[in-house]
Amino acid sequence: PHGGISTPPPHPAGPANGGGWGTGWRQPPPAPRPGVIPLRPLAVSEILDGAVATMRTHWRTVIGISLAVSVVAQGLITVVTGLWFRTTSGTGTVDNPDPTLGEALETVRNALGSSSVTMLVGVLGTIVTTALLTMVTARAVLGRPVSTGEAWGGARPRLLQLCGLLLLIPAIAAAVIGLGMAPGMLLAAVGVGSEGAALASLGALAGTGVAIWLWVRFSLAAPALMLEKQGIISALRRSAKLVRGAWWRVFGIQLLSIVLVFIVAAIVEVPTSAVAMAFGGDSAIDYLSGESVSVGWAFLIVVGIGGVISSAITFPISAGVTALLYMDQRIRREALDLELARAADCGN
């Protein structure tokens, strides 16, 4: 005691490593990361980085798949386009200043036929790459190696259903836009031209908004169909359930992915188009200026090479982002990270 005031005894020392009560908050341990993403809810940057990391880590399989599909698809598109340019029925009517109705209809039919073939080839290429790269991304999340043969073996039984799904979604969107335009088109058909056109334009705008909403709502159906072995309708319902309450987040990430793909494609295709102009000569200049509807094979081949390179890079990005976004939504809703961690431990 000093001056009548007793000194309190010292506070008992706590555990040496900060355990026990009265010590500061301790940061939880980092989430396990067996593969290209940490097994926890993901930030936007981690989803994009995971798609790129999948392409970088499994580059032989990823680039091999996307390059092979791109070469076949772009090669067919180049051949079909070049042959159409060289058919008399494809170009003669356009050069004719006064075609007959039959000639005009023949030209339209040939143009639609060529466009349908190229569109079909592009859709089939997208289906195959989406199926295979979704399987690769699922393995990459677990840190497991995957060969092209293994990816094909896992994807092949689901290809027909994936084809139906990826054709159904744009068909639904087109039907919605068509329904929006229908009242205005009916007015125009009965002679109310200006009002019908205005109403059709408003209907198309409203239908496009609904179509975008549906596209986002169903945007996770492809990985649900591939990875959960869902049917087409069940996959659409599954996607709608996962997107519910997170529509704007899913929309933003998908939109960011589209912008990224567009930028990468432009970086590749703008220089190759310039090279194609150099190789194509006057025919390419006349084609781009509208003075001719025919271009040389050199122009088409160089443009096709640019398309192959662009697709080989952008296919893995778009497929990877969609697959990882699907997994992120399941982690947030269903604690998929715990199941993935167990699967990764079993695999190791």
List the structure tokens of 339: 């199941």
Its domain, for residue 110, covers 44-157+246-347
Domain count for the chain, please give it: 1
User: Domain for residue 190, yes or no?
Assistant: no
pTM: 0.82
DSSP annotation string for 230-296: --HHHHHHHHHHHHTT-HHHHHHHHHHHHHHHHHHHHHHHHHHHHHHHHHHTHHHHHHHHTS-S---
Query: φ and ψ at 13, to 5 degrees?
Result: -70, 140
* Helical spans, DSSP H, in the chain: 44-57, 59-85, 88-95, 101-141, 148-155, 159-189, 193-217, 221-227, 232-243, 247-280, 282-289, 297-334, 336-347
Residue 2, SS3 per DSSP: strand
Asked if residue 241 belongs to a domain, the reply is no
The residue type found at 225 is L
> CA quadruple 276, 280, 282, 284: dihedral positive or negative?
negative
Residue 194, in any domain of the structure: no
Give me the pLDDT at residue 344, please.
82
CA 47 from chain center: how many Å?
A: 13
Q: What is the pLDDT along the chain (348 residues), one digit of tens a residue?
A: 444 444 445 545 444 444 445 455 566 778 889 999 999 999 999 999 999 999 999 999 999 999 999 999 999 988 888 887 666 444 454 555 555 556 556 666 666 666 777 788 888 889 999 999 999 999 999 999 899 999 999 999 999 999 999 999 999 999 999 999 999 999 888 877 788 889 999 999 999 999 999 999 999 999 999 999 999 999 999 999 999 999 999 999 999 999 999 999 999 999 998 888 887 655 556 555 555 556 678 888 898 999 999 999 999 999 999 999 999 999 999 999 999 999 887 655
Under 8 Å CB-to-CB from 223, ≥6 apart: which residues? 134, 322, 323, 326, 327
Q: Report yes or no on 26 lying in a domain.
A: no
| 70 within some domain | yes
Q: Is residue 299 in a domain?
A: yes
* 9 domain-assigned: no
Residue 24 within a domain:
no
